[in-house]
Structure 1
Amino acid sequence: MFSKFISIGDKIELQAVSREDEEKPESPAKVYHSEVTEIQSEDTVEITMPMEKSKLILLPIDSEYDMIFYGSSGLFQCLGRIIDRYKSNNSYLLLVEMTSNLRKYQRREFYRLRCALEMHARTLREDEVQTVESRMPYTLSNDFPLKESVIVDISGGGLRFVAAQRFEQGSLLYCSYHLMNGGEHKKYEVICKVISCIELDNRPGTFEHRVQYYDIDPVEREEIIKYIFEEERKSRQKKRFSPES
């Protein structure tokens, strides 16, 4: 059942579960990020050891976590207990035993703002993809041509944009665009994963893409969300004071 919904490479969020005999923390437990490297059985999965600022986070054996899997067909949640940790092929890994059934997880969707923002994008090269997926620090080369596109809606979770270039579903993109931040234009350079790509019926040769941010910096995500709500606030004020209202 587990392997029907979760695949190798799927991203994971882990949050420590408090035991009944422990005092409840004043703030929510920290969220760690990992990914599936192997499904060993229907109740045992191997995952990467979380990293934070290039440092490994040694999650203790026998600790239990609330796990959210980013599967191809949606988000799924279960509880898991770490039963081993080890190094294999220069990778630091955790072996996790599922302690509850896998269930569909409904997360609140990010609010989407309609817009028309200029953006430049390109597909990551294979070596860049490997570096990004390993969650190691990286700097992308500026020597490769970027394709022009237009963002038609934006959210804290991703983008929808149109372009004359077709970017394949599942590919990773480098995307660059500007937003107002603190009264100034700030450049955002983000890695996105293509969720879908369709050719527009009324505009042959133009492709609409839906992408999700891939491991975006939480500070930048909050800045994007702040920008969206500020633009929405401005739009509501214009409607409120327009002659037709």
Structure 2
Amino acid sequence: MFEQLVVGGKVELFKKSRRIKENGETKEMLVSQIMDINDETIICTMPSRQGKMIVLEVGTLIEAFFYTGNYIYKSDCTVKSRGKEGNIFTVELRPETALVKFQRREFYRLKCTIDADIIPLTDEERKIFDVTGKLPDNFVMPEDKGIIVDISGGGLRLFSKKQYDADSIVNVSFPIQVGDRSRYMKLMAKVVMSMRNQNSDSVYDSRLQFVNMQKEDTEDIVKYVFAQQRMIRKKERGL
């Protein structure tokens, strides 16, 4: 019934009384992850906001956005039950509406392999960033190495040897090719979640959401993503 979804996929949840604001106002988004898929329900981790677990009451009506490799699927869901698997608190969601493909250009995710440098901000640098939206002029720190495994105009997913605190801010740098231009992107991002990779105890799987992006940077990433997708389709057709 939910063959479009995948275990481990990211989920964004919004209480129906706090719908996404289209005018740019603050959104109250909860972040979760699919743990299991049944015939009529979807088991997810209990969601969090800014690194703090938010316990959902049974019967709560939720607007859910389920991320897959290339698309996002939307459904209105009811919280059917709560539980615990090992040390992980869970929530069972029952979709009340059919899964509908929900795609925006900036959300289209490209599977990729791109080397990246990650620099976490210190507490003092975070204070400056929160006030000014910019990095301090003397911002220099050792870089962590990571590999971007999917990217969109809104954020990215990367594998690294280091775990990052949820809601922390990092500077992430990576190269992309935009038409005949080579760009080395240096972007600020918020850590949505960071957890140990299911296939390797020494690797952490982190999801980052870009913040304070310039319009040009978003547009260039979207152009890069769709150019790469066109190349993939041509190869699949043998062109």
User: Corresponding residue for 1:208?
Assistant: 205
User: Corresponding residue for 1:163?
Assistant: 160
User: Corresponding residue for 1:50?
Assistant: none
- Comparing 196-205 with 137-146, greater Cα deviation is found at 137-146
TM-score (norm 1): 0.56
Cα distance in 2 for residues equivalent to 1:186 and 1:68? 31
Q: Does 1:125 align with 2:122?
A: yes
Q: Percent identity?
A: 24
Q: CA deviation at 1:69?
A: 2.6
TM-score (norm 2): 0.58
Q: Deviations over 1:102-151 (max 9, x none)?
A: x9697745100000000000210122211221235544545310000000
SS in 1 for 2:225: helix
Give yes or no for contact 2:133–2:212 (8 Å, CA) kept in 1: no
* CA distance 1:153–1:168, change in 2 (3 Å): same
Aligned 1:46-85 pairs, distance under 5 A: 68-73=25-30
* CA distance 1:234–1:70, change in 2 (3 Å): same
Cα distance in 2 for residues equivalent to 1:209 and 1:120? 13
* CA distance 1:5–1:125, change in 2 (3 Å): farther
Cα distance in 2 for residues equivalent to 1:199 and 1:129? 25
2:140 is matched with which residue: 133, 138, 143?
143
Considering only CA atoms, is the larger Rg found in Structure 1 or Structure 2?
1
Cα distance in 2 for residues equivalent to 1:124 and 1:137? 11
SS in 1 for 2:166: coil
Q: CA RMSD in A?
A: 2.8
Give yes or no for contact 1:193–1:212 (8 Å, CA) kept in 2: yes
- Comparing 155-164 with 124-133, greater Cα deviation is found at 124-133
User: Corresponding residue for 2:228?
Assistant: 231
User: Corresponding residue for 1:154?
Assistant: 151
Give yes or no for contact 1:5–1:71 (8 Å, CA) kept in 2: no
SS in 1 for 2:167: coil
Q: Deviations over 1:19-75 (max 9, x none)?
A: xxxxxxxxxxxxxxxxxxxxxxxxxxxxxxxxxxxxxxxxxxxxxxxx64322427x
Cα distance in 2 for residues equivalent to 1:119 and 1:212? 15
* CA distance 1:104–1:215, change in 2 (3 Å): farther
Q: CA deviation at 1:13?
A: 6.9
SS in 2 for 1:144: coil
Give yes or no for contact 1:5–1:73 (8 Å, CA) kept in 2: no
Cα distance in 2 for residues equivalent to 1:171 and 1:137? 15
